Amino acid sequence: MRWIITFAEGLLSFASPCTLPLIPLYVTYFAAGKSGRGHAIIGACCFAAGFTIVFVLLGALSGTLGMFLLRIRTGLFIALGVSFVLYGLFLWDLIRLPMPRLKIKDFDVRSLTGAFGFGMAFSLLLTPCAGAYLAAALNLATVSGSVGIGVALLAVYSLGLAIPFLLCAALTEQVARMLAAVRRRAGDLRHFCGTCMILMGILTACGLLNASFFTF
């Protein structure tokens, strides 16, 4: 059951308030390559491999430090909740945060190694604000107390997150047209995502939105 839940958490992370604002950057990256759909899909696989490596390493760390992390998880969830709230306020333009920015020109869109590096950079940007879904997956890895299970759980999580990205790469033109249609409502989307992040932050900090919430 936990494998299905972890896979679903990966899928839900794609639609999380933190990930949605980054989708235009992703689509623009693969549209810039203009090397055909086949190459775009292969590049997307390398992109997925990049963030999978990062998440699997997090899973290994969680499995290794399982008992220690369990003892301090209350503090971790409070810190995580505060970070969600801060990111939500940032999306509302109420505060300024030193957020890292991904620039397409920093990665060779025609290179598979460039796509892999873009995936790793994407995961590092996503990890601090990926929402309760990544936190729940890591918490399951922590409870397992096993490096192998921790790695496998985060690999399953990454697979769930990768599938929507692969579909976007295969349908780049269609997705780009959809994004163009909603671009004029970008401000409303940003504020909606900000509100969701603030609510998620409050629930997480209060211990109401953690792994137990998804495993009832």
pLDDT of residue 163: 93
Sign of the Cα pseudo-torsion (44, 47, 53, 59, in order): negative
pLDDT of residue 65: 72
Instruction: Please state, rounded to an integer, the average pLDDT across all residues of the chain.
Output: 75
State the number of CA atoms in the 13 A half-sphere of 24 facing the CB: 11
Q: How many domains does the chain have?
A: 1
pTM over 0.85? The answer is no
Reported confidence tier of residue 173, pLDDT bands at 50, 70, 90: confident
Residue 105 pLDDT > 60: yes
Helix H or strand E encompassing 126: helix 112-126
Q: What is the rounded average pLDDT of the residues 82-87?
A: 82
149-159 residue pLDDT tens: 778 888 888 89
Q: What is the rounded average pLDDT of the residues 53-70?
A: 77
108 sits in the region (left: phi over 0; alpha: psi -120 to 50; else beta) called: beta
Q: Which domain holds residue 44?
A: 2-214
**Spatial distance between the Cα atoms of 26 and 32, rounded to a whole number of angstroms:** 10
Rg (CA), the chain: 17
Picking from 81-85, 134-138, 177-181, 205-209, which range would have the lowest pLDDT averaged per residue?
134-138
Residue listed under structure tokens 């499995």 = 63
What percent of the chain has a predicted confidence (pLDDT) above 70?
A: 71
